[in-house]
Structures are given as structure tokens and as C-alpha cells.
Amino acid sequence: MLVIQGTGPQEPATSGYPQLYDHPYFGQIFLAGALSLIGYPQILNPVSDERSIILLHMIPRLFMGIIAILDTFLVFKIARTRYNLTVAFIASVLFAVMPMTWILRRVYLDTLLMPFMLSSILFAMCLKKSSGDLLQSTEGTKMEASEAVLALISGICLGLAIYTKIPAFTMMTLVGSLVFFNSKKKLMNLTIWLIPVILIPTLWPLYSAAAGQTDLWLHGIIWQTSRYKPLSLSLTNFLQIDPLITVAGIAGFIWTGLRKDFFALVWVVPFLIFSYFIGWVQYFHLIVIFPAFCIATAVLIYRVQRLLVRHNLMLISKAPLIIIVTFGLIVSTILISSDLNANYFKIYAAIAKNIPNTQNSNEKDKAVMVIGDHWWIWDSYWITEYVLGKHHEILDPYYDRNFKKPIATSNVIFIDDEKFLRSMTEKARGINVLRIRQLHDESPVTDTLFNNVSRKDNGVYPNNIYSIMTVNERYPSGLVVIRKHFD
């Protein structure tokens, strides 16, 4: 929303958001550019009701669905170029239907960078046959030019992927080796590829330096590397979400490795090594290596099919693919058809409704503060502040752990849930906390809602995925009460 409004790629320092430089900016620039083409959000005529909240979320999700289709096509082209049509078909089908693909429908930087990362790999692979396509002529200059263009485009795509999220740099080993060997070990092509890979992500620290915020940039880097969620936990979640593709993919890595085909391994191993040492890995971060699992599984299935056909077992040669695809279709259908967001939309709409319109108010009446857990106040802030123009301040105990931010207004809205009430009770010292508790106790209840996304009720397999999402991302669940104190 900031990019769409032309106010820059990040939250202003005065907003209170504590990590201004937690990630580079191309993700929001890319998404804002796409949404601006359709006149988002003005085209929806948004107001403070649930329908508007749903539509405001739906349009970006539809855009992510389009990107997922493009990703599937790129996976097909990569597998087709590397192996053959059968492997490409199997890999793309797996990529389209398996449960892990559910993540591609969500708006993450990891999913936004996918088409650029896959495009970089594909263009690097096309170097190998460039002389047979554009180069029907025998002129060496045309060959050199086409190779240089393909290397440059591959470098730009990977540079944009890294500029979206830094861990994409782990793909440099794979893409760089493809560029080097597919262009017959020409250092010139590797150099042409490397220039945009390095220069484009450098725009991030250069921006912080130009803004005089190098210290905040360094703080953001240190903060990202100081958190702890081990890789082993995310790999376990990966196995729980998509057990078939995990097991089959590992078997595919072993098979291709034994045949001295290290394409999939070089895709996965540098990323896992980096993730192990960085110490902070969420299960959805692994989506960037999911295509490698699909391709390795496809190669394994193809080899098994050929072995069965060779032994005159035509009838069962298709069984492995049919079993895996059927499993993926059933689970993915359940995931897609399940509505986990309805309660969130109701709560966001209630928050928006309780914040007054401030555009025509005087400066005294304009001072409004929303206090509550960051899942509610930050996840709705982009709508209330930038879409609806309901200006307000925020106090979030997740970041302001001691409630140090001064309360300069008596116009306060509280978003109560179990986590927030516990944090307010535990941090009951200091004048500021006492002031907040007094305002809280004096605030009448305006809305009582309920949120529960864990879906642990009947033990069906997809509920395990909901539980992984809830536990690892610490989504709040249970009773949510909105209190409003206005003088």
C-alpha cells in the first residue's frame, strides 16, 4: 500500500514498526505494480465492513494463484529442458496438486520470488541449446550475442529474486554452474550473469545509506539472524504437510545422485546448509526447494515406470504416479475448500468499524491508539491506515515488551485475546502500564468474537496442516473482545 500510494517501499520510522529493514523491497514493489494495474484498492470502493475486508484480501490471493500457474509452467519447462517430456509432465502435475503447493496461494516473499528464481534457472539451462535455436546461421557473433543475452536475463531474474528475499542467493551455486557449463565454460558469460546478481540486491543497503539509516539496516540484519527456530523443526513440518513428496523426493535425490545427476541436489543442499546456520526457518521458507523435490520425484517415477514396462508390467507401471497424484488432489481439494479466514475477516472488520474516520476531524480528535496482539493490529493496519485512511497509532506488546510507548490520548481501542491479557498482567509494573490497565478496565465492550484456526476437532489429515500453521506461526485462537474508550 505504501508503494501504491507513492510514499516509499517501507514503513516510516515514526509508525512504530520495529524492523524497517527485515527484508529487501522488490516483493512489495512487484506486488504493488501488479495491483496498481487494475486500480486496486480504489476499484473495490472499500468501506469498514466484512465484504470489503474479504475483497481486499481476495484480489492479492488471486494474483498469487496466477503466479502459481506460471510457476507450474516454469517447472514443466525446466524439467523438459533437463530431462524429457514425461518427466516434465509428472513434475508439473506434482507441483500443481501436492499439499505443499497450498503455500503458493499465500502472499509470502518466498512465493513472490518463485517465478524469478525459476526463470533464472530456465534461462541458464537454455544456454546449452542456444546455438541451435537463434543460431541457425554459422556466424559466431550471433552465438556469442545470444548466449550473453540469456546469461544476462538469467542474472537479472536471480538478482530480482535475491532482492525479494536474501536466502535466494543460495541458488547462485545452481544457476552459476548451469551458466558456466552450458556456455562451454566461458568466463565472459559467467561474468555477465554475475553482474546483475550482485548489483540488483545491492540496491537494498544503498537505499538505507541514502536514507541515512545504515544503523537500522544493520540492526535488521542482526535481528533476523538472532532469532531461533531450527531447520529440523521446519523439515519435520514439511514431512507432516507432504509426506509422500518428501519421502519420494529424498529417494529421487539418492537415485539421481547415484547416476551422477546432481541438478536437484545442488538446488537443495546450499539452501539447507544456509538455513541450518541461519537458525530461523519457517516451514513456508522451504517452498523454494519444493520444485526440486517434484523434479527428483518425477525422475524416480519415470525410471520405475520404465523398469516395470521392461518387465511387461504395463498395467501397474502407472500406479506410483496415480497413487501420489490422487493423494495430492484429495488433500489439496480439502485445503482449498476449507475456509480458515472467516473469523479473521470478522475481527478485522470489527476493528475497522471501531476506529473513527479521522480525515475530517480536528487534530485533538484525531489521536487514536489501538492496543493489542500484533496478529490483530498489524495484520489489519494496512487496511485501516492506508486503504480506509483511518489514522491511528499502535501499541503492540510483542515488540514493546514493557509497554514503554507513551499513551498520549485517552481515545484507545483494546483488542483482547488470551495472549494480550496475559502480557498485560505479567508486565504490571510502571506508571505507563497502570495507565493502560486503568483505561482497559474503564473501556466498555463493543464486540465479542471468536477465532479458532487449529481445526484439531476430528483428526482428518488436513487438520494436521492447520495445526502446524497455528502452532509454528503462533496464530491466536479463542475469544477476541474489542473494547473502546473514547472521551
pLDDT in tens, 379-401: 899 999 999 999 888 888 877 76
Q: Is 301 in the same domain as 404?
A: no
The reported pLDDT for the residue numbered 41 is: 94
Which ranges of 338-382 does DSSP label H, i.e. alpha helix? 342-354, 363-366, 374-381
Q: Is 398 in the same domain as 455?
A: yes
Q: Is 379 in the same domain as 284?
A: no
What the block records as the C-alpha cell of 290 is: 519444493
Q: Is 359 in the same domain as 371?
A: yes
Q: With respect to residue 51, please indicate whether it lies within any of the assigned structural domains.
A: no
Residues 16 and 394: beta-carbon distance below 8 Å:
yes
Q: Is 296 in the same domain as 398?
A: no
* pLDDT at residue 458 greater than cutoff 70: no
> CA separation (Å) from 346 to 151, 219, 354, 384?
49, 36, 12, 14
Q: How many Å apart are CA 68 and CA 112, to the nearest integer? A: 9
> CA separation (Å) from 201 to 47, 114, 157, 258?
38, 16, 11, 36
Q: How many Å apart are CA 381 and CA 363, to the nearest integer? A: 20
Give exposure, 96-123, as e/b (b: 16+ Cβ within 10 Å): bbbbbbbbbbeebbbbbbbbbbbbbbbb
The reported pLDDT for the residue numbered 456 is: 47
Q: Is 331 in the same domain as 404?
A: no
Lowest mean pLDDT among 86-95, 96-105, 358-367: 358-367
Q: Is 383 in the same domain as 361?
A: yes
Which residue's C-alpha cell is 483511518? 390
Beta strands in 203-296 (DSSP E): none
Which ranges of 282-318 does DSSP label H, i.e. alpha helix? 290-310, 314-317
Segment 21-26 mean pLDDT = 89
Q: How many Å apart are CA 48 and CA 56, to the nearest integer? A: 11
- Residue 322: partners with Cβ closer than 8 Å, 6 or more residues away: none
Comparison of pLDDT for 13 and 418, the residue scoring more: 418
Span 304-361, pLDDT tens digits: 988 888 877 777 778 888 888 898 888 888 877 777 788 889 999 999 999 988 655 5
Partner residues linked to 478 by β-bridges: 451
Q: With respect to residue 15, please indicate whether it lies within any of the assigned structural domains.
A: no
Starting at the earlier edge strand, list the strands of the sheet with 369-372: 393-395, 369-372, 412-416, 478-485, 445-451
Span 234-257, pLDDT tens digits: 999 899 888 999 999 999 999 999
Q: How many Å apart are CA 83 and CA 460, to the nearest integer? A: 37
The reported pLDDT for the residue numbered 366 is: 61
Q: How many Å apart are CA 139 and CA 375, to the nearest integer? A: 60
DSSP state for residue 25 in the 8-state scheme:
S
Q: With respect to residue 2, please indicate whether it lies within any of the assigned structural domains.
A: no
* pLDDT at residue 86 greater than cutoff 90: yes
Comparison of pLDDT for 362 and 222, the residue scoring more: 222
Q: With respect to residue 294, please indicate whether it lies within any of the assigned structural domains.
A: yes
What the block records as the C-alpha cell of 171 is: 541458488
Q: How many Å apart are CA 285 and CA 109, to the nearest integer? A: 9
Number of domain units in the chain: 2
Q: H or E stretch including 371?
A: strand 369-372
Q: Is 394 in the same domain as 306?
A: no
Q: How many Å apart are CA 262 and CA 355, to the nearest integer? A: 56
* pLDDT at residue 455 greater than cutoff 50: no
% of the chain with per-residue pLDDT over 70: 87
What the block records as the C-alpha cell of 273 is: 546448509
Residues 4 and 35: beta-carbon distance below 8 Å:
yes
pTM for this structure? 0.89
Q: Is 346 in the same domain as 480?
A: yes
Of the three residues 319, 337, 355, the one that is the final residue of a domain is: 337
The reported pLDDT for the residue numbered 409 is: 83
Domain limits for position 388: 341-485
> In whole numbers, what is the pLDDT of the chain averaged over residues?
86
Segment 22-26 mean pLDDT = 90
Q: Is 310 in the same domain as 389?
A: no
Q: Is 324 in the same domain as 354?
A: no
The reported pLDDT for the residue numbered 43 is: 94
Confidence of residue 464 (pLDDT cuts 50, 70, 90): low
Lowest mean pLDDT among 131-145, 168-182, 350-364: 131-145
Q: Is 290 in the same domain as 351?
A: no
Span 465-476, pLDDT tens digits: 666 665 556 667
Segment 261-268 mean pLDDT = 96
The reported pLDDT for the residue numbered 338 is: 76
The reported pLDDT for the residue numbered 470 is: 58
Helix (H, G, I), strand (E, B) or coil at 452: coil
What the block records as the C-alpha cell of 438 is: 486503568
